[in-house]
Chains A and B, each alone.
Chain A
């Protein structure tokens, strides 16, 4: 079985590097970086334009501005009036969207491949040509406040997760919600928006990713024509306040009449992928899976199946961000199990995990699934494009992105256990209990 598995891994490895070899990249004189991910299975194309600016790049006091600005990018320019962008994409049979995170803001269109020039032209047009009226600001700010109500303020879980993240960061802007604090969203002005636009919306802050049915060289030629004439801006260096060493565990307890099922959340501050140095993040990625990545994971087996103190358990870690982020744990106690008992059982299970280590077979199985997931990903054009956008806006190079699968494959049991020892330290954690109003 193991021999067969090994042969298969080698086979998959070849397939993956063959795929990487056909990816094209370029950089224009104005600093715009381009990545082309060819996929000729259908005559469709995905254009993603990433600005390497997210909520963690906002000026303190202006939280929510990056996300608010994402909304404003759908207002008009001199050549493409309000609403016309999405309407034109739709009228050409395409779909468009946008999203904002801590580290980036991205705009996406999917459309028939012979319409690439059309969407590229409109995307280039709004990089510098946006016109914003006071009325645009007033209504769209109201929409964003409604969005905040929907996503956060209407659910105890939404409010609590926001509090958890805020508590995890004393100094780093990752502690601010991407959507922004309500009182700061309310105060955002047209001047704030324009200053943000002039500062960050420029070719030298942008990554263009085109995935789909395109000819070699075609994307670069188009990009040169359409994005090439845009002027770079004087970008501020991307240096953010970093966290001081955490000296004591933090704990949050919230009670809410709307909560029926208690839950325990924990965040540990954890390093993420660094250019040329990704092995630790790779080890933590596999650690999260082995601890709490599903039914067969170590802590799920112990807490849910064996001890029956929980009805759910999971661990989650996002390896790709500019600065250190959180390693997350989530648990729901079984009915009749007091939350403090469940928390004690969680800590005991983590201590056991650190003591007992992990099984080589479990790691081999997990690595095989990672290799397979690269094959599955070939069926998902958007996800492939996204890997490059997130990676480049998180400070990684193309080589780091290309090497990541091999680095995951090289991680050893010892790497994972060493990372576990470093990450799973209560002194670097926040624990949150979200409880019904009337328990205990």
Chain B
């Protein structure tokens, strides 16, 4: 093969061709509710995504688990339909209606054929207006939830995540111990679920996106029907977590051939002026198969199958963190390599080559994210929740392109502090112990 050279001229950055097609309309209902819409009539499918800020951290301590149980039960019967009748009704339309909750958001997604849009929305509205929360489904979901909690006590990922949250965030609700939630779930009542719904589904924290074979005229009346009867607002959101800078290491003994490590410290917020340099920095350090950590720990030494870092900008916590799996004999060495890169980047920044490659990847990859109605709807609600303007998609790659070597050097020195790195290892790592190091 001697054909490579001519193709090298193709090393240009892509100007987001797929995103250029994503024209976002803003739809405002007579009741004042707003949705973002991307119309695409090439396939007779409609996706609707509705998300509320808040999430499971809105649960008071004594009612921990109520929001999650509420979203698990919302599709288990409404109006005259019991759980099975409701499920049959959704299947008859070949639609999907799903409710979900995370620590920071609650919401629902709908996917339907255009043909069945109206009938599907009737079922959605019924669940929102008249959920049954019948006793039998409630006991079934409770039993299953408790079983999952019991299993979590012997799962490395869950053990690591619990300990890591507790060490980094103290007693903030995002680090609520499973044992506390478990005790609460055992006593939750139907009224607690109704209350969780009232707390979560409020119109001043909602983001709505519709994508696919639906017009603004179709969407407008739906907004008032869906959101019109919800409360305007709910209880105050918790304040952001204070992130520990103690830099402790904790070992949680667990049998098996391999250890799992979480490591991290404070990050920065989404609206920080240094967000984009930090975003690119993460890509270079541990953001993908071409990252430094993957090269040094996996490719050059074979110490892991997977190592990665992420810059997490959530409303309640901003962290720069990572995870790594390695054999018990090699975990200490692998973590030393992570820490060495932490120090090197903080002191020396990155190379021009690394910066160029990371930018090329991030700007090109952005367009590929818009590769389906569901993905686009998800991007639209995240943009609204982050307070980004509709034309953000057109300008986002410029923000990445604008990051300079000096920006990265400044941000790496500001963010990457190996002394404050909190580390949790679950397993039987050789030569590691609890403490500060």
**A residues apposed to B, CB below 8 Å:** 8, 41-44, 77, 79-80, 83, 86-87, 90-95, 110-112, 114-115, 117-118, 121, 124-125, 129, 138-147, 149-150, 153-155, 226, 257-261, 294-296, 301, 304-305, 308, 311-312, 332, 334-335, 365-366, 368-369, 371-373, 375-376, 378-381
Contact = CB atoms under 8 A, between A and B. Distances in A.
A95 B11 contact: no
A308 B257 CA distance: 37
A296 B91 contact: yes
Contacts of B1: 77, 79, 121, 124-125, 129
A294 B83 CA distance: 13
Interface stretch (B194-202, B229-237, B293-301, B385-393): B293-301
Contacts of B373: 379
Nearest to B43: A378
A145 B365 CA distance: 30
B14 A154 contact: no
Nearest to A380: B372
Contacts of A138: 302
B255 A44 contact: no
- Give the top 8 A-B pairs by smallest Cβ distance, nearest first: A93-B364, A142-B302, A372-B94, A139-B302, A147-B305, A149-B258, A90-B361, A42-B18
A172 to B, nearest CB: 28
Contacts of B371: 42, 44, 110, 381
A119 to B, nearest CB: 10
B150 A95 contact: no
Interface string B361-375: 101110110111110
A8 to B, nearest CB: 7
Interface stretch (B99-107, B151-159, B267-275): B151-159
20 contacts: A42-B367, A44-B367, A79-B4, A80-B4, A87-B357, A91-B360, A95-B368, A117-B7, A121-B4, A146-B302, A146-B305, A154-B260, A260-B153, A296-B84, A335-B146, A366-B91, A369-B94, A376-B45, A378-B43, A379-B373
A92 B367 CA distance: 12
Nearest to B22: A42
B111 interface: yes
Given A87-B290, A296-B87, A94 B364 contact: yes
Contacts of A125: 1, 4
A335 B147 contact: yes
B303 A154 contact: no
B79 to A, nearest CB: 18
B299 to A, nearest CB: 7
A366 B94 CA distance: 8
B367 A93 contact: yes
Nearest to B143: A311
Contacts, number: 195
Given A44-B368, A94-B368, A95-B365, 16 more contacts: A83-B290, A90-B361, A121-B7, A146-B258, A146-B305, A146-B325, A149-B257, A149-B258, A149-B327, A150-B325, A260-B147, A295-B83, A301-B84, A366-B91, A375-B113, A379-B374
A143 B298 contact: yes
Given A141-B302, A260-B150, A378-B43, A112 B290 contact: no
B92 interface: yes
Contacts of B255: 257-258
B178 to A, nearest CB: 12
A79 B433 CA distance: 47
Contact of B88 (A149, A365, A373): A365
Contact of A93 (B84, B94, B363): B363
A295 B76 CA distance: 10
A93 B364 CA distance: 3
B344 interface: no
A385 to B, nearest CB: 12
A92 B360 CA distance: 7
Contacts of A112: 14, 17, 364, 367
Given A93-B367, A118-B10, A121-B4, A365 B92 contact: yes
Interface of B: 1-4, 7, 10-11, 13-14, 17-18, 21, 40, 42-45, 83-84, 87-88, 91-92, 94, 111, 113, 115, 136, 140, 143-144, 146-148, 150-151, 153-156, 255-258, 260, 288-290, 295, 298-306, 325-327, 357, 360-361, 363-365, 367-368, 370-374
Contacts of B289: 86, 90
Contacts of A369: 91, 94
A153 B257 contact: yes
Contacts of A365: 88, 91-92
A376 B87 CA distance: 19
Contacts of A139: 299-302
A380 B288 CA distance: 23
Nearest to A127: B1
A144 B299 CA distance: 11
A154 B84 contact: no
B21 A226 contact: no
Contacts of B290: 83, 86-87, 90
A79 B2 CA distance: 8
A261 B155 CA distance: 12
Contacts of A86: 289-290
Nearest to A366: B91
B47 to A, nearest CB: 9
Contacts of A44: 17-18, 367-368, 371
Contacts of A141: 302
B4 A304 contact: no
A112 B18 CA distance: 9
Contacts of A378: 43, 45
Nearest to B359: A91
B194 to A, nearest CB: 23
Given A8-B115, A110-B368, A112-B14, A90 B7 contact: no
Contacts of B88: 296, 365
A305 B304 contact: no
B151 A150 contact: no
A93 B360 contact: yes
A115 B10 contact: yes
Contacts of A375: 43-45, 113
A296 to B, nearest CB: 5
A368 B94 contact: yes
Given A79-B1, A80-B4, A308 B306 contact: no
Contacts of A379: 43, 45, 372-374
Nearest to A378: B43
Contacts of B113: 372, 375
Contacts of A304: 140
Contacts of B153: 260
Contacts of A295: 83-84, 87
Contact of A154 (B21, B45, B258, B374): B258
Contacts of A43: 17-18
B144 A93 contact: no
Given A121-B1, A125-B1, A93 B13 contact: yes
B258 A153 contact: yes
A284 to B, nearest CB: 20
A150 B147 contact: no
